[in-house]
Structure 1
Amino acid sequence: MFKYLSKDLPASVVVFFVALPLCLGIALASGAPPFAGMIAGIIGGIVVGSLSGSQIGVSGPAAGLAAIVMTAITTMGYGDFLVAVVIGGVIQILFGIGRLGIIGYFFPSSVIKGMLTGIGIIIILKQIPHFFGMDEDPEGDFAFLQLDGENTLTELLKAFNALISGNISMGATLAAIIAMAILLLWSNVLSNKGKIFTLIQGPLVAVAVGIIFYLFTKDSSLAITQDHLVKVPVPQDFDSFLGQFSFPNFASIGKTEVWITGFTIALVASLETLLCVEATDKLDPEKNVTPTNRELFAQGTGNIMSGMIGGLPITQVIVRSSANIQSGGKTKLSAIIHGFFLLIAVILIPTLLNKIPLSVLAAILFIVGFKLAKPSTFKQMFSLGWKQWVPFIVTILGIIFKDLLWGIGIGLVVGIFITLIKSFQNSHFLHKEGEDVNDGKIKMTLAEEVTFFNKATILKELDKIPENSVLELDVTKTVYLDNDIIEILEDFSHKAKDRNITINLISQRGNVTNPESFVEFFKLDYKAKKLPLSDF
């Protein structure tokens, strides 16, 4: 785990600065004490990070649960709510034991990519007001409707009007521009100039400069107000620090509403985690596959511990996970170290953290959001045809104008509807033809039509193929192959090289061994079969 410490340590610093305002903001958006968000972030990093099988996933409090948490706290009280969090953790462990982690594989690739892009866009939209020192809403409020009665678009309109009229916070804006310049200079120029610029990450320098800017301008016309600084709870002494912890009221464990809330938390947190796992595995340059049942066990354990000491529910979170990947994180050590950074910061330097301008953190999140929502992604999805494009766009719009879970749900419904249309044309299944352990040859034949419903079966079969084998993949009868399956084969081809597995493709246009690109291969195969590329 310490093999890539030189990469994991700088990545953990970036994740720490991304996670810090999100932990506090999500707590406020949930109607919980700010310290509750910090507890969830610390346990999500240290405990869940240690138990998880994900190499690059980062866990913490999630904005997707904010509405559920706020309703529960308001109706039941905080002590009863913590009991529900503990119950939710136990149910998640049972989900893992029951091997329900496979659920995440039944979401089409177009929806997962739409989720990543939608989150990237919403991050950018939500940070624009903070960039100009205009928005006092919690940093973690990623829903369309906000706590102050505004929504994403009205906040942007207010920021635009303020920009036109010159009523923006000049100090916050200037600090954000300086931070953005540092980040771009670091990533595009300095990172290639020496090892020191990869060990010391640009976000760390941007935050340090932001603190210095605040200290030097606090008595000038460029002063940044307290409303636009990080707000970490500052205990006066050790007793007041301990007083920030809350504990479950187990006397309420027999209440029906506590159990209903616990099951709701378990279900939503598990779904959000599994979707994030699927998304981060796609972003992972190493193409690691996270064991989903183990992930549910890790998340459940984390939620039990978080609920026991007053923390919010925990899920794996795509914003922190993608920041980890983009910063070069290689192993779970980066997630664990970020958790320790949160713990140390809360205990030792809360006063210093409260001098960080939110506009500087907005600049960091701008970069994260842009890398998730690159224009090239839209071009790629459009080129794959309407069956990929429509669920992709619908998911994005749902996330922007409602919230994460609604967007994913609507995208999934549209994806299933499109798949059902195709299913009327041909039956679809995957079957395997004989396995001779003596000669090491395995033959797998794809049906006429294979869709994302077959992802779990195909992944399972491919993972069972032993090293030093020869896989004969017969696609001569295949007339429709979902892009999800092509991506699985593409990822497997990278692993096959490490496991010394030879792939022989049998197709209408002849046999090909270890193709360089499955995408290009199937395009040529479709031409050989005289099938319309619109079905590809």
Structure 2
Amino acid sequence: MNSTERNFNPFKNFNKDIPASIVVFLVAMPLCLGIALASGAPLFSGLIAGIVGGIVVGSLSGSPLGVSGPAAGLAVIVLTAIEDLGSFEVFLVAVVIAGVIQILMGFARGGIIAYYFPSSVIMGMLAAIGIIIFFKQIPHAFGYDADYEGDLAFQQPDGENTFSELINMLNYISPGAIIITVVSLAILLLWEMSFMKKQRIFQLLPGPLVAVIVGVSLNIFFESFPSLRLTTEQVVNVPLAESFSGFIGNFSFPDFNALTNPQIYITAVVIAVVASLETLLCVEATDKLDTYKRVTPTNRELKAQGVGNIVSGLIGGLPITQVIVRSSANIQSGGKTKASSVLHGFFLLGSIILIPNLLNLIPLATLAAILFVVGYKLAKPSLFKKMSKQGRGQFIPFIVTIVAIVFTDLLIGLCIGLVVSILFIIYNNFRIPYIMKTMNKDNKPVIKIELAQEVTFLNKASILQYLAKIPNDSIVEIDATKTHYMHYDVYEIIEDFKINAVERNIDLTVHGLYAPKAEKIPAQLMANAEKRG
């Protein structure tokens, strides 16, 4: 147990973690079912992945607030893989192998990838997901549930996209769903009021749970009114088992006879890479939302995810990643430690065994209201103001990431945002490799060039062009005393300029220029990196 875990002992934070875990459970359940539906897999496989993500991954992970489960980003990959491999049982073999690959990635310290995504891109991802959640839940709030819960892609399986669905839903408005949405949202907003937060009873009783109880009550009441009655598509749809043996019968097991099929290993690699990338990005985003700014050990996270996928694959579950929607709900509901993630897994398991009929009375409209609040908090106007104050280099990649994710999907949008951020880095490196000053020395004008702390090969062109434009017969002073790193190409340019200066009658003085040597990573930095991993 590291110092962070000791400082946030789960047993001392149950008053915060239990209410948060209930909210995460309520949010996770329809998402697990929706993602399984979109993946072309048995509905129960989504619940299995949610349970394993909570109990197994939550227990092994070093992430204090991250919540794992089936992810919408893998739905298309899973759907295609099941079709290509011929059966769900064969696909489960690929999930198990993907878990093994993730464990190996963890031991190989592959978690360091997470640290190479700029904060502007990560914040853009959070805001984009908030916007997507908000727009995707509007049809559910109006009672139109053709698109599955948890879908984050712009193009939807029902043939619509995020925005055309808003027009299409006007043909399917359900008065009962709208009433439930309005009442649920009113309860949630009331619970956000400062005077409510000061009351002890309301601190222990989560607003989302109250909204769900009221939503279920309204659903039962509306049964007597045909115009308000909800359909089976407008409520949660947990698979029912008439007995314990029927419950056990919902589990599937991998067909290891398929290990000779090379397509299994290709699928496993794809799942491992995509799931690991989504997890690492979510880890970075979750750590940024954490008010205590704790740092998740990313290599340990990959190992935990790997174990989770092995277990999930062995008992018939979908692939698992850390998921930002559930993690955000956990943070915004006051979760303090990973106990909230683990508990939500137990709540999923217990509820589908003990009260599946009651779960199937929960209106999707109530859950839409809960996710409205989650989405708004991720994309608050104050976040846009904060990013705009940080300058174009931060704000433009932030906005581009948002637009790209909203109009494509999570991974494509992130890649576009990352490219734009890299272009800004290249541009800034090109612009600011040195500071040029004109000064007097012995009553003669002197051009003084102070090189930056880091001068890379990207600076070659600007330095070469500037030195070429220096007039003949000048007095020039190049100061490299503050330079910690210089690419050999730049060193060579300055050495060549020394020779050329003689021919051009330039009086040249160079300070602090040394031939670049092989870089060594300081022992302390290496130790810190190992500690984080």
Shorter-chain TM band: 0.7 to 0.9
Give 1:25's aligned residue.
34
Q: What is the rounded CA distance, in whole Å, between the counterparts of 1:450 and 1:117 in structure 2?
A: 34
> Residue 82 in 1 paired to residue 92 in 2?
yes
Q: What is the rounded CA distance, in whole Å, between the counterparts of 1:306 and 1:368 in structure 2?
A: 27
Cα 1:218/1:189, change in 2 over 3 Å:
farther
- State whether residues 146 and 158 of structure 2, in contact with CA within 8 Å, keep that contact through their aligned partners in structure 1: no
Q: What is the rounded CA distance, in whole Å, between the counterparts of 1:177 and 1:477 in structure 2?
A: 62
Give 2:528's aligned residue.
none
Cα 1:425/1:246, change in 2 over 3 Å:
same
Cα 1:450/1:217, change in 2 over 3 Å:
farther
Amino acid at match of 1:211: V
Give 2:472's aligned residue.
none
Structure 2 residues without counterparts, runs of 5 or longer? 1-9, 435-450, 457-480, 484-533
Give 2:337's aligned residue.
331
When the two structures are superposed, what TM-score results if normalisation uses the length of structure 1?
A: 0.78
Give 1:143's aligned residue.
153
SS of 2:192 mapped into structure 1: helix
Cα 1:78/1:199, change in 2 over 3 Å:
same
SS of 1:424 mapped into structure 2: helix
Query: Whose Rg is larger?
Result: 2
SS of 1:263 mapped into structure 2: helix
Q: What is the rounded CA distance, in whole Å, between the counterparts of 2:307 and 2:339 in structure 1?
A: 18
Give 1:72's aligned residue.
81
SS of 1:218 mapped into structure 2: helix
Query: Where does 1:376-395 land on structure 2 (aligned, <5 Å)?
Result: 376-395=382-401
Structure 1 residues without counterparts, runs of 5 or longer? 429-445, 452-475, 479-536
Amino acid at match of 2:406: I
When the two structures are superposed, what TM-score results if normalisation uses the length of structure 2?
A: 0.79
Match of residue 133, structure 2, among 123, 139, 143: 123
SS of 1:297 mapped into structure 2: helix
TM-superposed deviation, 1:449: 5.8
Q: What is the rounded CA distance, in whole Å, between the counterparts of 1:407 and 1:169 in structure 2?
A: 34
- State whether residues 432 and 452 of structure 2, in contact with CA within 8 Å, keep that contact through their aligned partners in structure 1: no
- State whether residues 39 and 312 of structure 1, in contact with CA within 8 Å, keep that contact through their aligned partners in structure 2: yes
SS of 1:222 mapped into structure 2: coil
Give 1:252's aligned residue.
258
- State whether residues 306 and 312 of structure 1, in contact with CA within 8 Å, keep that contact through their aligned partners in structure 2: yes
Q: What is the rounded CA distance, in whole Å, between the counterparts of 1:176 and 1:311 in structure 2?
A: 31
Aligned length: 433
Give 1:177's aligned residue.
182
TM-superposed deviation, 1:276: 0.4
Higher mean alpha-carbon deviation, 229-238 vs 183-192, is at 183-192
Q: What is the rounded CA distance, in whole Å, between the counterparts of 1:57 and 1:209 in structure 2?
A: 29
**1:169-199 Cα deviation digits (max 9, x unpaired):** 0100000100000001111145334111011
Query: Where does 1:386-535 land on structure 2 (aligned, <5 Å)?
Result: 386-426=392-432, 448=453
Give 1:168's aligned residue.
173
Q: What is the rounded CA distance, in whole Å, between the counterparts of 2:433 and 2:299 in structure 1?
A: 30
- State whether residues 136 and 228 of structure 1, in contact with CA within 8 Å, keep that contact through their aligned partners in structure 2: no
- State whether residues 280 and 318 of structure 1, in contact with CA within 8 Å, keep that contact through their aligned partners in structure 2: yes
Amino acid at match of 1:224: L
Cα 1:178/1:450, change in 2 over 3 Å:
farther
> Residue 109 in 1 paired to residue 115 in 2?
no
TM-superposed deviation, 1:79: 1.3
Q: What is the rounded CA distance, in whole Å, between the counterparts of 1:427 and 1:7 in structure 2?
A: 50
> Residue 242 in 1 paired to residue 248 in 2?
yes
Match of residue 284, structure 1, among 271, 283, 290: 290
SS of 1:46 mapped into structure 2: helix
Cα 1:8/1:449, change in 2 over 3 Å:
farther
Amino acid at match of 2:312: S
**1:344-399 Cα deviation digits (max 9, x unpaired):** 01101111000000000000000000000001111111221221112111111121
Q: What is the rounded CA distance, in whole Å, between the counterparts of 2:196 and 2:17 in structure 1?
A: 16
- RMSD of aligned C-alpha atoms? 1.9
Cα 1:370/1:427, change in 2 over 3 Å:
same
**1:313-339 Cα deviation digits (max 9, x unpaired):** 000011111111111100000000000
Match of residue 206, structure 1, among 208, 211, 223: 211
**1:440-466 Cα deviation digits (max 9, x unpaired):** xxxxxx973699xxxxxxxxxxxxxxx
Q: What is the rounded CA distance, in whole Å, between the counterparts of 1:449 and 1:330 in structure 2?
A: 40
Match of residue 50, structure 1, among 59, 70, 75: 59
Give 1:12's aligned residue.
21
- State whether residues 10 and 201 of structure 1, in contact with CA within 8 Å, keep that contact through their aligned partners in structure 2: yes
Higher mean alpha-carbon deviation, 285-294 vs 149-158, is at 149-158
> Residue 303 in 1 paired to residue 309 in 2?
yes
Q: What is the rounded CA distance, in whole Å, between the counterparts of 2:302 and 2:196 in structure 1?
A: 37
Cα 1:174/1:85, change in 2 over 3 Å:
same
Match of residue 48, structure 2, among 39, 43, 50: 39
- State whether residues 63 and 338 of structure 2, in contact with CA within 8 Å, keep that contact through their aligned partners in structure 1: yes
Q: What is the rounded CA distance, in whole Å, between the counterparts of 1:27 and 1:447 in structure 2?
A: 53
Q: What is the rounded CA distance, in whole Å, between the counterparts of 1:332 and 1:183 in structure 2?
A: 24
- State whether residues 426 and 449 of structure 1, in contact with CA within 8 Å, keep that contact through their aligned partners in structure 2: no
**1:68-94 Cα deviation digits (max 9, x unpaired):** 011001111211110100010000000
Q: What is the rounded CA distance, in whole Å, between the counterparts of 2:282 and 2:103 in structure 1?
A: 18
TM-superposed deviation, 1:254: 2.0
TM-superposed deviation, 1:135: 2.6
Q: What is the rounded CA distance, in whole Å, between the counterparts of 2:117 and 2:183 in structure 1?
A: 41
**1:45-69 Cα deviation digits (max 9, x unpaired):** 0000000001111100001111101
SS of 2:214 mapped into structure 1: helix
**1:202-221 Cα deviation digits (max 9, x unpaired):** 00000000000011111202
**1:213-266 Cα deviation digits (max 9, x unpaired):** 011111202111111000000011122211111111111112111100000000
Match of residue 373, structure 1, among 374, 379, 386: 379
Match of residue 266, structure 1, among 260, 266, 272: 272
Match of residue 94, structure 1, among 89, 98, 104: 104
Identity of aligned residues (%): 63
